[in-house]
Amino acid sequence: MSENNSFRSWLFNYLINYLTKNKEKNRTTTSIRINREIYEDFIDVACSKFRVYPHHGLNLLIEALMNLVIELFQDYPKVVQTTLFYKPTINIQKTEINIATKLEVKLVRNELQHILIALEQGKASDFWLSKLRETIPKAIRIYDKTRDSKLEELLKKSEKWIEKIYKR
């Protein structure tokens, strides 16, 4: 509680000093979009606590707060902003895949491709459907390890066939 009061006292003194030192400086008109309720509450607090006029003094108080942020954070390390407006860039690093994994990817891709071709040609027999059920878990495990794009496409096609199987 005392830390909060000492910060409030420090901030109050900072703002009062800024207001008295800088009240005669030239200013330009700018526009800032802010929440109306916060603006109205700010006016109430600023007018009652700092005895400033709603327009001229309030602008000076906002300027003082902006200056405080500049003073406190201008040398602070930059922080990555992640908000709804600024989406962070995600860098996907390519990892080196060993020869055994490469071979496994090729085998599973070929197996899935043959099964899907057979199913698309109308050979929707129980044999091909059971082969599809057996191959999908292997393909998913390998895809999770490698994120292979061709394997991903084959898994998407397989998903459509699995949906058909379970609709029967």
Q: What is the pLDDT of residue 84?
A: 47
Residue 18 or 90, more confident: 18
Rounded percentage of the chain residues whose pLDDT exceeds 70: 76
Segments making up each domain of the chain, as ranges: 2-73, 99-167
Residue-wise pLDDT for 93-119, tens only, equals 555 668 888 889 999 999 999 988 988
- pTM as predicted: 0.42
Quick count: other Cβ atoms within 10 Å of Cβ 109?
A: 17
Average pLDDT over the chain, rounded to an integer: 77
* CA-angle at 29, arms to 28 and 31, nearest 5°: 140
Range among 21-35, 40-54, 62-76, 132-146 rated most confident: 132-146
Q: What is the pLDDT of residue 106?
A: 92
- Residue among 134, 103, 129 nearest 116 (CA): 129
What six digits make up the tokens of 133? 């059920």
Q: What is the pLDDT of residue 129?
A: 82
Provide the residue type at 34 as one letter.
I
The Cα 65–Cα 71 span in angstroms is 10
Q: What is the pLDDT of residue 163?
A: 78
* Mean pLDDT value across residues 31-49: 79
* Mean pLDDT value across residues 13-34: 73
Residue-wise pLDDT for 41-83, tens only, equals 887 887 777 776 666 666 777 777 888 878 877 776 665 454 4
